[in-house]
Structure 1
Amino acid sequence: MLERALAEVDAALAAAAAAGKTEGAELGAAWRWRGTILSALTSYMDTKGSIAASPRIRDAWVQAVQLDELDASAMHLLGRWYCKMASLSWLERTAASVLFGTPPPATYEEALAWFERAEEAQPGFWLANRVRLADTLLLLGRPAEAEAWAERAAAMEVVTADDVASRAELDAMAAKQGWSVTSPPERA
């Protein structure tokens, strides 16, 4: 199904190019979905294939942001991509070195910049983004700022299944750090 979805989005991008469409949020959304589908496909690949696909994933999300500077979701996904690349294990880095000479360059600072940019583009758009901000700040050794973002995340309403997972991640992070984060009031 993912391969079929990728073929569909590629056909849509080809049709847009053939029609001379080179800008706009809709085209940006197609690029975001291309990156998302490619990312999902990597779960079915070995380490070598997954790492080989990673620059194409990043490039699709960068294209999405270039086409829609307010696409906070694409910015968030880029932040996750940078975190993932920055946290590659020795084995994964070795595999990447065989493929590329060096692994795709990425740092936690770059990840943080994308998460912050997403929050600036659309404040409070996604609980997961604020949780990622807190987590990345912890990875960078900035616990006070991380706790502040954890508090902001905890103040958000939990609505979707993704929010439930993000809230569980936030609660685990807070417990590990000894933070006391409070939930928003229940809906009436």
Structure 2
Amino acid sequence: MVVEYAKVDELHEQGEGDAAYAILKKAYDSEPGAKEDIELLWRLARACHMRSSVLSQKNPKRKELIVEGHKYALDANKIDGNNFNVVKWCAVTTGALADHLGVKERIQQGYAFKEFVDKAISMQSEYSLYHMRGRFSYSVANLSWLERKAAATFFATPPTASIDDALKDFLEVEKLRPNQWLENLLYVAKCYVIKNDKANVVKYLKVAVSLPVHDDADKETQEEAKQLLAKWNK
């Protein structure tokens, strides 16, 4: 079979991750040379990520899909590390994988993620990349004392980032896509929680709780936003 990438991309735009994955995986498993086709590999990584992103964090299938997508992205990167889509999906899947690892592995993947995301942003300014880098900075800024001590034990130079670094990237997303991304709005508010800026916490959470939800992941995110709003809007 010859994969019609335009059709696959259309399915992705329509949110049909399962259908896009089925087409790509069939080609990957059966077509000669498919495993060296970067156009197929990065799209497979994207399809795995889309399928995982609608599942709740507690669903074990989420991690399975992320691990699978991460492999496709890294395989593509070995073939061409200067293709924007390859670098982008290396960043996406590496960042997603870090959420499911222990402290040492998470920090280790963090270095790889930061390298990928900075490289991707230098190639093309895209809102999702700023959100991912913001999440990385937020995570690093909130490492506990024990986690920082562990990081210092494992690595000569543990990663550093501040809440202001995270907030800057999250606000860049809001400039590019204002009041549209539930998860980004929540993280803007969480940064302002740490900065004890009640007005901005409430401002961004009110928008977050007003947005429609489309899947289990959205429901989880909005529930967290509602709980935070109830605490701060007094």
Question: TM-score over 0.5 for the alignment?
Answer: yes
Cα offsets for 1:73-98 (capped at 9, x unmatched): 11111111111100101111011112
Which amino acid in 2 is paired with 1:12?
A: A
Q: Distance in 1 between matches of 2:109 and 2:227?
A: 31
Q: Partner residue of 2:79? A: 15
Say if 2:142 is the partner of 1:78: no
Q: Distance in 1 between matches of 2:183 and 2:85?
A: 19
Cα offsets for 1:29-70 (capped at 9, x unmatched): 43232123223433554322221221111221222222221x
Which amino acid in 1 is paired with 2:69?
A: A
Q: Partner residue of 1:186? A: none
Q: Partner residue of 2:190? A: 135
Cα offsets for 1:129-174 (capped at 9, x unmatched): 0111111111112111111111222232222332212210110101
SS at 1:105 equivalent: coil
Q: Partner residue of 1:6? A: 70
Size of the alignment, in residue pairs?
170
Q: Partner residue of 1:35? A: 91
Which amino acid in 2 is paired with 1:11?
A: D
Q: Which structure 2 residues correspond to residues 81-160 of structure 1 after superposition, within 5 A?
A: 81-160=136-215
**Contact 1:131–1:150 (Cα < 8 Å) also in 2:** yes
Moved more, 48-57 or 29-38: 29-38
Which amino acid in 2 is paired with 1:172?
A: Q
Any stretches of 5+ residues in structure 2 without a counterpart? 1-63
| Identity of matched residues, % | 24
- The change in CA–CA distance for 1:44 and 1:143 in structure 2 (over 3 A counts) is closer
Q: Partner residue of 2:226? A: 171
Q: Partner residue of 2:118? A: 62
Q: Distance in 1 between matches of 2:221 and 2:67?
A: 28
1:3 positional shift: 4.8
Q: What is the TM-score of this pair, normalised by structure 2?
A: 0.65
Any stretches of 5+ residues in structure 1 without a counterpart? 180-188
SS at 1:101 equivalent: coil
SS at 2:80 equivalent: helix
Q: Distance in 2 between matches of 1:138 and 1:50?
A: 24
Which amino acid in 2 is paired with 1:65?
A: I
1:7 positional shift: 3.3
